[in-house]
Amino acid sequence: MDAKLQEKLDALPTEPGVYLMKDRRGMIIYVGKAINLRNRVRSYFTRTGDTRVFVSLLDQLLGDIETVLVNNEKEALLLENELIKKHKPRFNVMLKDDKQFISLRLDRTQAYPRLEVVRKYEKDGARYFGPYSSAGAIRETLRIINRYFRLRTCTDHVLANRKRPCLLHQIGRCPAPCVYPVPPEDYRRSVDEVTMFLEGKANELVEGLRLRMKRASQELKFEEAARLRDQLQAIERSLERQKVATTDFKDQDVFALFREGDRILFYVLWVRQGRLNGGQAFPFGSQEFPDAELLSSFVNLYYDQGSFVPEEVLLPLEPDDGTDGLEALLSERKGERVRVLVPKRGEKHDLVQMAVKNAEQAFVERRRTKDETDGVLSRLQQKLGLRNFPRRMECFDISHFQGSAIVASQVAVTDGETDKSRYRKYKIKTLEKQDDFASMYEVVTRRLKRGQEDNDLPDLLVIDGGKGQLASAHAAMKDLGVETVDVVGLAKSRDLEVFDRDEESARSPERIFVVGRKDPIVLPQNSAEMFMLTRMRDEAHRFAITFQKQVLRKSRVRSALEDIPGVGETRRKMLLRHFGSLKRVGEATIEELAEVVGPAVAERVHAGLHGHPEEDAEDPVRQASLDDASEPVNEKSQGGSPPGAA
The model's confidence at residue 236, banded by pLDDT at 50, 70 and 90, is low
Same domain, 444 and 319: no
Q: What is the 3-state secondary structure (H, E, C) of 325-356?
A: HHHHHHHHHHCCCCEEECCCCHHHHHHHHHHH
pLDDT score, position 145: 80
C-alpha angle with apex 140: 136 to 144, nearest 5 degrees? 170
159 and 24 inside one domain: no
- Specify if 350 maps to a domain: yes
76 and 126 in a single domain? The answer is no
Backbone angles phi, psi at 497, to 5 degrees: -65, -25
Tell me how long the chain is.
646
The answer to whether residues 184 and 110 touch, using CB atoms and an 8 Å cutoff, is no
Alpha-carbon span 399 to 406, nearest angstrom: 6
Is there a single domain that holds both residue 406 and residue 545?
Answer: yes
Q: Of 627, 464, 605, 481, give the one whose Cα is nearest residue 544.
A: 464
- For position 631, what pLDDT does the model report? 38
Q: Omega before 613 cis (within 30°)?
A: no
Q: Which residues does 559 contact at the CB level (< 8 Å), separation at least 6?
A: 621, 622, 625
Taking only the tens place, the pLDDT of each residue in 303-360 is 887 778 889 999 999 887 788 888 888 888 888 889 999 999 888 898 999 999 999 9
Whether residues 63 and 129 share a domain: the answer is: no
- Nearest-CA neighbor of 266 among 300, 243, 304? 300
Residue 61 has pLDDT above 80, yes or no: no
Q: Using CA atoms, how far apart are residues 577 and 45, in angstroms rounded to an integer?
A: 65
Give me the CATH number covering residue 331. 3.30.420
Q: Could you say which of 185, 216, 243 is where a domain stops? A: 243
Range of the domain at 515: 387-496+506-549
Domain boundary among 56, 87, 118: 87
- For 148-171, write each residue's pLDDT tens digit: 788 888 888 888 888 888 888 888
Residues 533 and 397 placed together within one structural domain of the fold: yes
> 476 and 572 share a domain?
no
Average pLDDT score over the chain: 80
**Exposure class string for 154-185: b at 16+ Cβ within 10 A, else e:** beeeebeeeeeebebbeeebbbbbbeeebeee
Please give the pLDDT value at position 627: 42
* Number of domains, the chain: 5
- In which region does residue 369 sit, left (phi positive, over 0), alpha (psi from -120 to 50) or beta (all else)? alpha
**pLDDT value of residue 57:** 63
Please check whether residue 95 lies inside any domain of the structure: no
| Same-domain check for residues 404 and 545 | yes
- Residue 637's pLDDT band (cuts 50, 70, 90): very low
Shared-domain flag, residues 132 and 275: no
**Could you tell me the end-to-end alpha-carbon distance of the chain, in angstroms, rounded to an integer?**
41
Same domain, 136 and 237: yes
Per-residue model confidence as pLDDT tens digits over 88-115:
887 888 776 544 567 888 888 888 998 8
> For 413-422, what is the mean pLDDT?
88
pTM: 0.54
532/393 same-domain check:
yes
